Amino acid sequence: MRLLKIAAGVLNQTPLDWLGNRENILAAIASAKSEQVGVLCLPELCITGYGCEDAFHSSGVHATALEMLTSIVPETKGIAVSVGLPVTYAGGVFNVAALLVDGRIAGFVGKQHLAGDGIHYEPRWFKPWPAGIQGEIEIDETQYPIGDLLFDVGGIRIGFEICEDAWVGNRPGGNLASKGTDIILNPSASHFAFGKHGVRQRFVLEGSRAFNVTYVYANLVGNESGRAIFDGDAMIASGGQMQAVGKRFSYRPMVLTATVVNIDVTRMARARSGSFEPEVDGDESDVIRMSIDFPVVGPVVEKLEKEPWMVGATVKEEEFTRAVCLGLFDYMRKSHSRGFVVSLSGGCDSASVVALIAKMFELANWELGFEGLLDRIGLFANDVKKPAEVRELVHRLLTTVYQSTKNSGPVTRAAAMEVASAVNATHYEFDVDSIVDSYRNIVSSAIGEKLTWEKHDITLQNIQARVRSPGVWMLANLNNALLVSTSNRSEAAVGYATMDGDTSGGLSPIAGIDKAFLRKWLIWMEQQGPEGIGNIPALNSVNQQQPTAELRPLEDNQTDEDDLMPYDVLDLIERLAIRDKMMPIEVFDHIITEFPHYEKGQLGKWVIRFFRLWCRNQWKRERYAPSFHLDDENLDPKTWCRFPILSGGYHFEIEQLQAHLQQSGF
């Protein structure tokens, strides 16, 4: 019986943070060695960070990465460790995993399939390594093997699938299986999206079953470089059975997930498999042999349990909360900001942002403990008056402000106060009406015409939103804090936001989520909240309202849905038009079956309104502050959804729909 303890190390890395990244790698190695781990898999490109963008084309970055690698090698005595970095070979840049064995470099495996869709741009920087090809690379006057390699380490065969390699049909694992591989390591940098955990789990389990191996999956965790959030999601499976699953959305810099596997059992399962066809030609030119004495371990029976929040009907609400909270936490840390400032209108969007920031501190405290939380954010090391508990920390690091004009009502003012008080934010009220009047008078005097609601409706609405920006920017500057924009994806789709007004900020954390879900989530947050953390009952004051911009006179009873259309209709039109790339008439034919309670003529008008507003407002989406990627309905033009700023505006297609509506009597 040959027992081996293996581990997946989840790391919170930062692009080009050489010393910080190395510290996390060394901490993972030290922890693994202390637990008698024999083989440790760390995430893809963990030395440089995954999100280095065009810095991957810097020769200095490659040189520094190799320098960091050589400094890590001596710390791997008694263990085999996979670390990721970019290397230059034959004039190209390759994304590789280096296997370090017992204080030596065993070799480098090149990633064969590059992620080039969605938010990924790997083909911009890297070349895919061709299957079946090996070579040699010189580092410090020593030659090392590089390419499509298999390692025989102390008599145990170790191969690689690097992230995207496991997401394609022709996975390298099939070839590795035919060579009698015992363990496949998958170092990954796989961003969070709703439901993605289940996809990863399937290919890990299926890889372990179909290839008759132990499969080790190690991912990044945290907000690594700004827009993408990584959920960790470490997994180890053998023979189609999950052996260990790591904690997701951890606030720690490093988390180890380990288990003991029986190599002999895996091999006999492979031998019994009727589908296993071993290579018997004797050609093992791609096998690199390394000696090592693995730690002796005993059998371990581990009870596999999912985290409680991952079971039930509210998994999406839980994932949204935990992903965005972790994204905010790391954004604050890595931007060296001293907290957040939010213009709290008393409505759904700004209340959602405030709730997420408050829960961010609570989730971090729940995992790290209060002293650990303070140490992780690193803001109060030399502060003799450092916060004593979480609510005081929130008070110090979250500032909200309600900015009223004559068109603001008492309901939103009270709601803003109630929500701010519930989370213990530092809250202010600004009356900006005199500033609005000042601009109105200046412009009226200049053009020689009085501005009226009948003639200048949009202009008068927008100035109110814009004059709210300088005050919150001042608070952010005073506090050295991050100003957070509160626009959502539904508003971004149709440009229902004022540039340099409510879009002002350095981060737009909810710009990747639709309004319909946000309203549902706020009710959940009011009544239930994340598992183990709890709810915010004060959100009831927000949930009782109809969403409104409060920019027209109060007697107009302005609501967002009157200005636009019902949000559930808007979100479906957006999904069909932008995600599924349907033309206006196709969208119309689809939604009339989804919303039979609306008149077909009205639905047609809403479809036309959406397409016109979508085209007209691409320039606004180009200027939004960075947002978090949450699903494949993202509208961020910098990472996901590209659309021309200038276009034909769907005029031809809209005319077709209008003709169809007229001919059908709608």
Strand partners, 259: 6
Asked, for residue 345, whether it belongs to a domain, the answer is yes
Listed range (20-24, 60-64, 313-317, 636-640) with the worst mean pLDDT: 636-640
* Residue 302, pLDDT score: 67
What rounded mean pLDDT belongs to the chain? 94
Residues 275 and 319 in one domain: no
Q: For residue 404, give every residue at least 6 positions away whose Cβ sits within 8 Å of its Cβ, in sequence order, or none.
A: 413, 429, 430, 431, 432, 433
Mean pLDDT of 451-478: 93
Q: Quote the CA–CA distance of 502 and 344 in Å, as a whole number.
A: 10
Q: Mind listing the pLDDT tens digit for each residue in 395-419? A: 999 999 999 988 888 999 999 999 9
pLDDT at 650 over 90: yes
Q: Quote the CA–CA distance of 396 and 401 in Å, as a whole number.
A: 14
Token pair belonging to 381:
């090391």
* Model-wide pTM > 0.75: yes
Q: Rounded to the nearest 10 degrees, what angle do helices 515-527 and 567-574 cross at?
A: 130
Residues 92 and 142 in one domain: yes
Mean pLDDT of 412-437: 96
* Residue 272, pLDDT score: 82
Residues 269 and 319 in one domain: no
Residues 182 and 276 in one domain: yes
* Residue 385, pLDDT score: 87
Domain boundary among 507, 537, 564: 564
CB hemisphere CA count around 503 (13 angstroms) = 20
Asked, for residue 89, whether it belongs to a domain, the answer is yes
Residues 258 and 321 in one domain: no
- Strands 221-223 and 229-231, sheet pairing: antiparallel
Residue 639: pLDDT band with limits 50, 70, 90:
confident
* Residue 337, pLDDT score: 97
Q: Mind listing the pLDDT tens digit for each residue in 232-248? A: 999 999 999 999 999 99
pLDDT at 252 over 80: yes
Asked, for residue 412, whether it belongs to a domain, the answer is yes
Residues 188 and 231 in one domain: yes
Asked, for residue 43, whether it belongs to a domain, the answer is yes
State how many domains the chain has. Answer: 2
With contact defined as beta carbons under 8 Å apart, do 559 and 547 qualify?
A: yes
Residues 26 and 133 in one domain: yes
Mean pLDDT of 177-201: 95
> Whose structure tokens read 């957040």?
340
Residues 155 and 199 in one domain: yes
* Residue 549, pLDDT score: 67
Residues 353 and 253 in one domain: no
CATH number at residue 350: 3.40.50.620
Residues 183 and 75 in one domain: yes
Q: Quote the CA–CA distance of 140 and 105 in Å, as a whole number.
A: 12
Mean pLDDT of 574-602: 95
pLDDT at 662 over 80: yes
Residues 253 and 355 in one domain: no
In the chain the first and final C-alpha atoms are separated, in Å, by: 75
Domain boundary among 513, 530, 564: 564
CATH number at residue 260: 3.60.110.10
With contact defined as beta carbons under 8 Å apart, do 73 and 26 qualify?
A: no
Asked, for residue 58, whether it belongs to a domain, the answer is yes
Asked, for residue 365, whether it belongs to a domain, the answer is yes
Q: Quote the CA–CA distance of 350 and 549 in Å, as a whole number.
A: 12
Residues 349 and 256 in one domain: no
* Residue 545, pLDDT score: 87
Q: Mind listing the pLDDT tens digit for each residue in 39-89? A: 999 999 999 999 999 999 999 999 999 999 999 999 999 999 999 999 999
Residue 50 structural domain: 3-293
H or E element, residue 146:
strand 142-147
Residue 327: pLDDT band with limits 50, 70, 90:
very high
Residue 274: pLDDT band with limits 50, 70, 90:
low
- CA 419 vs CA 160, 254, 469, 542: distances in Å: 50, 34, 21, 8
Mean pLDDT of 606-622: 96
Q: pLDDT: is 560 or 45 the higher one?
A: 45
Asked, for residue 666, whether it belongs to a domain, the answer is no
DSSP 36: T
What DSSP string runs through 207-266?
Answer: HHHHTTSEEEEE-BEEESSSS-EEE---EEEETTEEEEEPPSS--SSEEEEEEEEEHHHH
Q: Quote the CA–CA distance of 339 and 439 in Å, as a whole number.
A: 32
Asked, for residue 595, whether it belongs to a domain, the answer is no
Start-end of H helices in 403-508: 410-423, 433-447, 457-479, 489-494
Domain boundary among 529, 564, 599: 564
Mean pLDDT of 457-463: 90
* Residue 99, pLDDT score: 98
* Residue 552, pLDDT score: 72
* Residue 502, pLDDT score: 86
Q: Mind listing the pLDDT tens digit for each residue in 98-157? A: 999 999 999 999 999 999 988 999 999 999 999 999 999 999 999 999 999 999 999 999
Listed range (232-246, 262-276, 321-335, 506-520) with the worst mean pLDDT: 262-276
